[in-house]
Amino acid sequence: MKILIVDDEKDVEMLFRQKFRKEVKNNSLELLFAFSGQEALELLERDNPPVVMYVFSDINMPGMTGLELLKLVKTRFPEIKVSMISAYGDAENYNKAKESGAQEFFTKPIDFDSLKKEINQLMN
């Protein structure tokens, strides 16, 4: 299963590769990365239908926010599950994300055990 992680902080890639090392090594998971909302959309639009099954996006990014990306993904690719992450666990972002179709809402630092459960549920 391919998942797309969208975050403007480049060090997130190394963290995800480390936390999902086992899943990547046994080929149950392929991680793709985009460092902006626009880059994420371009990656999703490359294949029709998209090869990505799950998008995990930061909310606060320059340019297109994660919430804007969420709305576009849910409009163009309703079959793709999207979860959001924010450094701020405020009710406003949570409510906007859930109303816009987010599968789940995580706060930083990421609880990778919860995220792995979420991904495992999608794989089964």
Domain that holds residue 106: 2-123
Quote the pLDDT of residue 16: 96
Return the closest-CA partner of residue 110 out of 27, 44, 20. Answer: 20
CATH code assigned at 97: 3.40.50.2300
Give SS3 for 105: strand
Distance CA 24, CA 17 (A): 8
Quote the pLDDT of residue 87: 86
Domain count, the chain: 1
Collect the ranges in the chain with pLDDT lower than 70: none
Strand order in the sheet with 52-58: 30-34, 2-6, 52-58, 81-86, 104-107
Quote the pLDDT of residue 28: 92
Quote the pLDDT of residue 21: 97
Quote the pLDDT of residue 100: 95
Return the closest-CA partner of residue 86 out of 61, 51, 69. Answer: 61
